[in-house]
Structure 1
Amino acid sequence: MLYVVGHKNPDTDSICSAIVLAYFLDGVPARLGGVNPETQFVLKRFGVMEPELIRSAEGKEIFLVDHSEKSQTLEDLEKGKLVGILDHHKIGITTSEPIIYLAKPVGSTATLIGELYFKNTLDIIGGKNKELKPDLAGLLLSAILSDTVLFKSPTTTDIDRKIGKKLAEISGIEDIQTYGMELLKAKSTVGKMAPEEIVKLDYKEFNFNGRKVGIGQVEVIDIGEIQEKKEKIYRILEEKLKEGYDLILFLITDIMKEGSEVLVVGNKEAFERAFNVNLEGKSIYLEGVMSRKKQVVPPLEKYYKEISNKK
């Protein structure tokens, strides 16, 4: 049986892309964690059930979406059969045999699925060009709006906008901006969540030249929603640092102001050099920084590669 699954601590793109791609691949949509409030809103809005929760790859064929980092996927991935990856992030995995691999620098994995559908080329990844039903089109549109932060993120491309418009027509969404704001409000419910939940909401682990780095992110309409919980979040991150991390960053991204306050735990020198800033205290506001993938991971990866080469 083929399982289509996104990364740990799944976001809307990870969940929705798994559901829609599984439909085209005649597979089973799966997830590696709980469904966040924004994704719950989307699934309820379009009347679609949550994917199956799986904890092991053993005995399964696996098709990964929205990630290729080993630290973000099933821990026993090698016990299953990895058949393909569809992603929009950097390459983070090596395989012992050929697989289907398609990645493109666009705003979301959902964009790639939409593009394959509209170009009638799903067959190149083993899929069937079945009819894209309104509910599934709505999932893809929601994933694009979520990952691109309503087309405000620097990861946004013309392809995202073009595919998003086509998906809106099929799904019956007449006003993308209005629906997008509903989506962002659903995303911004962290004020009601416990600090422990907030940390886990969208947390990813990376390996940069042998150094373990964690990067979490939460998107809010107003940073004030989370102001009183920042100190507790910081203490949670300090405890997490003991799990072998060199550095942990937690981005509190203000959607409206288009910037992020970054809590920094661990190797603060690495952060300062990677971003060319002076850190005074526990956090710093980075104007215009909204994308972990495009604006946070690359400078960190570059820094750790440079210090490794100097040894």
Structure 2
Amino acid sequence: MKREKIYIVGHINPDLDAIASAYGYEQYRHSLKEYEYRAIRCGEINSVTRWVFDRYKTPIPPFFPSISNLNVVLVDHTYPENRPKGWENANIVEVIDHHDVKLVENIPKRLTIRPCGSTSTLIVEKMVNSNISIPFNTAGILLSAILDDTLGLMSPTTVQLDIKMVNILSNIIGISNVQEYFKLLFKQKDVWSKYTAKEIIEEDVKSIEIDGNWVSVSQVETLNNREFNEREIIEELEVNNSIKPYSLRIVMLTDLNKRDCLLLVVGKDIPLVEKALNKEIKDNKVYLKGVVSRKKQILPILENIYS
């Protein structure tokens, strides 16, 4: 009897982890002879994702404009606002994620939600626990995704499980210095000077609703967060907010060298952010030393503001 296809998909505006975890879970299921699983994507890939898949000679999952009327596994996200187009009419059979859970309806029977630095970490753990031999190319892709999502294991989101899986994968592909590999990986990211303010905002953005308040947080990772035209980005945020008002629109300009970030903020609730940070936001800008993680260091502040 032919089984119905099940499509594995990450969030819109996919980063490397969203694509790699979908691909990795496809390979995991195929190793169990469950060939009905197929990795797809519902957004354009970024430069580092293309470099990684090219490096390991692996086809990028195909693009689907919508997941309407499909059986799907959601990876690397649960929030409805981050799901691909057509999710309301999809049959969500499973969710695998390392973020907070936000499932109000269509709750699947199979849920893997663990606090760690990367969804790819959870995929590797499944393979290891099932005694599956991980192929070279799959190991390289998943290793790259974990390092990318954890900022080379330096992010506050990093846990021991991430480190353990990185050690296993680096042994498979013969990498002795993961930090040097992370530097090579990071060099593949697009040069931000080529980007418009609109592209910078949309490259890696998370939009969420907290108790009726919509907020968006874009993150840009760089080795020099002083290279941006901050005023242009702020003006673009204000244009976006005039078209579709949010309580807050934020861009994190994260400097991995200095381990800090410059926060650009617009919206009616700037005073609430100032109170939470105990800092003045001057000209829509505030410097935050030691802040590099959207998930661990910025989103919790926003959640507390509206709780």
2:231 alignment partner AA: E
Query: Conserved in 2, the CA contact under 8 Å of 1:185 and 1:221?
Result: no
Query: Conserved in 2, the CA contact under 8 Å of 1:217 and 1:253?
Result: yes
The alpha-carbon deviation at position 55 of structure 1 amounts to 2.2
Query: Conserved in 2, the CA contact under 8 Å of 1:195 and 1:233?
Result: yes
CA spacing shift, 1:141–1:271, aligned 2, 3 Å: same
Q: Which residue of 1 aligns with 2:126?
A: 116
Runs of 4+ in 1 over 3 A off after TM superposition: none
In the aligned structure 1, how far is the partner of 2:84 from the partner of 2:190? 28
The alpha-carbon deviation at position 23 of structure 1 amounts to 1.9
1:232 alignment partner AA: E
Q: Which residue of 1 aligns with 2:272?
A: 270
Q: Which residue of 2 aligns with 1:73?
A: 83
Counterpart of 1:53 in 2: which secondary structure? Answer: coil
2:134 alignment partner AA: L
The alpha-carbon deviation at position 130 of structure 1 amounts to 4.8
Q: Which residue of 2 aligns with 1:126?
A: none
**Is 1:33 the equivalent of 2:55?**
no
Q: Structure 2 regions of 5+ residues with no counterpart? A: 30-34
**Is 1:233 the equivalent of 2:233?**
yes
Counterpart of 2:266 in 1: which secondary structure? Answer: strand
List aligned pairs for 1:96-111, cutoff 5 A: 96-111=106-121
Q: Summarize deviations over 1:108-133 as a string: whole Å, max 9, x none.
A: 0011111111121xxxxxxxx65321
Query: Conserved in 2, the CA contact under 8 Å of 1:188 and 1:219?
Result: no
CA spacing shift, 1:11–1:98, aligned 2, 3 Å: closer
Q: Which residue of 2 aligns with 1:21?
A: 25
The alpha-carbon deviation at position 255 of structure 1 amounts to 0.5
The alpha-carbon deviation at position 241 of structure 1 amounts to 1.2
Q: Which residue of 1 aligns with 2:93?
A: 83
2:260 alignment partner AA: G
The alpha-carbon deviation at position 44 of structure 1 amounts to 1.5
Q: Which residue of 1 aligns with 2:255?
A: 254
In the aligned structure 1, how far is the partner of 2:252 from the partner of 2:63? 27
Counterpart of 2:65 in 1: which secondary structure? Answer: coil
1:248 alignment partner AA: R
The alpha-carbon deviation at position 192 of structure 1 amounts to 2.5
Query: Conserved in 2, the CA contact under 8 Å of 1:3 and 1:62?
Result: yes
Q: Which residue of 2 aligns with 1:63?
A: 73
Q: Structure 1 regions of 5+ residues with no counterpart? A: 121-128, 306-311
Segment of structure 1 superposing worse, 277-286 or 96-105 = 96-105
Q: Which residue of 1 aligns with 2:32?
A: none
Counterpart of 2:157 in 1: which secondary structure? Answer: coil
Structure whose residues are more often helix by fraction = 1
List aligned pairs for 1:1-311, cutoff 5 A: 1-25=5-29, 26=35, 27-120=37-130, 130-187=132-189, 189-226=191-228, 229-242=229-242, 243-266=244-267, 267-305=269-307
In the aligned structure 2, how far is the partner of 1:177 from the partner of 1:97? 39
Query: Conserved in 1, the CA contact under 8 Å of 2:28 and 2:127?
Result: no
In the aligned structure 2, how far is the partner of 1:130 from the partner of 1:159? 18
Considering only aligned residues, what root-mean-square deviation do their CA atoms show, in Å?
1.5
The alpha-carbon deviation at position 231 of structure 1 amounts to 1.9
In the aligned structure 1, how far is the partner of 2:289 from the partner of 2:190? 19
Q: Summarize deviations over 1:7-37 as a string: whole Å, max 9, x none.
A: 1111111111111112223322111211111
Query: Conserved in 2, the CA contact under 8 Å of 1:37 and 1:189?
Result: no
